[in-house]
Amino acid sequence: MPGIIERYRERLPFASGDPVISLQEGSTPLILAERLSEKAGVEVWLKIEGANPTGSFKDRGMTCAVSAAVREGAEAVICASTGNTAASAAAYAARAGLRGAVIVPEGKIATGKLAQALIHGARVVALRGNFDEALRLVRELVHRHPISLVNSVNDFRIEGQKTAAFEIVEDLAGELDALCIPVGNAGNITSYWKGFQEILPPTHQPRMCGFQAAGAAPLVHGKPVEHPETVASAIRIGNPARWEEAMDAMTSSGGTVKAVTDAEILAAYRLLASAEGVFCEPASAASVAGLLTHGAGEGVRRVVCVLTGHGLKDPQTALEHAGAVVPCDPELSAIERAVLR
């Protein structure tokens, strides 16, 4: 499969001669989750966005944002990030031959994401502050310097990410009742809603059900959270940039925004891994936690849960919440005991 710009060019703001910076993102699996369906009492499909080149949905938006930056003659890109945007921006900047800088909250991003941003050669700046402060500062910085901002405040990001909605509609022949999705800075829910509206008739729109971590749930409370906290570090955000658009998506579609606790997130995270064979990162599991805790609404038959990032992004959390390793002496009887017990 080609990348998303080539696959959906007629629905994206790129002409045929424009530069395309791609890692063949998109075209990710949509898989039926039978055990989860039984538990939830609805048919559940999982959109595996961790299968993108850098392991998260950000690549869909980043191919567009970085291609547009190249078209505009930019020499550098920058973002604030809880980790995945940083990894993706660093990879696409490397591929484009641009300089990349990423501003992350110090000590609060998962190990895999940090490793990615560094190995791709981005300048990684650890801010003694949270994501919301980082985003405010980079927005000021790009006013003063000719650097392209590739956070989801950049409309090209939304354009790219809406293609996940196109894929789901194609795979399910337009038949889905609800979408469950984690919400952090609120760019992705905005993108899906835009995508669905562009290709489905108004009477066939799925309910948009957004889920935030209980310690970082500004949309649920209706006001910013000054000190957001959650095990799902990717969505540790207290003042989402796409606040209005996200609320519009949920209200216009008859959906909801609800909170899930860290315990609910971790239970869904383990369930996906152990009962479905799908390893996602904690923030991604918020979509499934939300479905299991709150449901997706009356009359809903078929649901898609978006699993936004790969579990290997955050090995630390996995190790902390999984079973223990079994030590063993190099003897057959010891192996027997260790394996069969």
Q: Tell me the CB-side half-sphere exposure of residue 102, using CA atoms within 13 A.
A: 31
Determine if 154 is a binding residue for ligand F0G (CB under 6 A): no
Q: Give CA–CA dist 106/129, Å, rounded.
A: 7
Q: Hey, is 295 helix, strand or coil?
A: coil
Nearer Cβ to ligand F0G, position 67 or 82? 82
Q: Give CA–CA dist 285/228, Å, rounded.
A: 18
Pick out residues in 239-298 that bind ligand F0G (CB under 6 A): 281, 283-284
Q: Which of these segments, 141-149, 180-188, 294-302, 323-331, binds ligand F0G (CB under 6 A)?
A: 180-188
Determine if 309 is a binding residue for ligand F0G (CB under 6 A): yes
Nearer Cβ to ligand F0G, position 59 or 281? 281
Pick from 26, 184, 215, 218: which binds ligand F0G (CB under 6 A)? Answer: 184
Contact in structure between 262 and 5 (CB atoms under 8 Å):
no
Q: Nearest-CA neighbor of 109 among 122, 96, 97, 95? A: 122
Q: Which of these segments, 121-129, 184-192, 219-227, 262-270, binds ligand F0G (CB under 6 A)?
A: 184-192
Contact in structure between 338 and 326 (CB atoms under 8 Å):
yes
Q: Give CA–CA dist 66/23, Å, rounded.
A: 12
Pick out residues in 203-242 that bind ligand F0G (CB under 6 A): 234-235
Q: Tell me the CB-side half-sphere exposure of residue 193, using CA atoms within 13 A.
A: 25
Determine if 311 is a binding residue for ligand F0G (CB under 6 A): no
Q: Hey, is 166 helix, strand or coil?
A: helix
Pick out residues in 104-143 that bind ligand F0G (CB under 6 A): none
Determine if 188 is a binding residue for ligand F0G (CB under 6 A): yes
Pick out residues in 79-108 that bind ligand F0G (CB under 6 A): 81-85
Q: How many residues bind ligand F0G (CB under 6 A)?
A: 22
Contact in structure between 207 and 254 (CB atoms under 8 Å):
yes
Residue ranges binding ligand F0G (CB under 6 A): 56, 58, 81-85, 152, 182-188, 234-235, 281, 283-284, 308-309
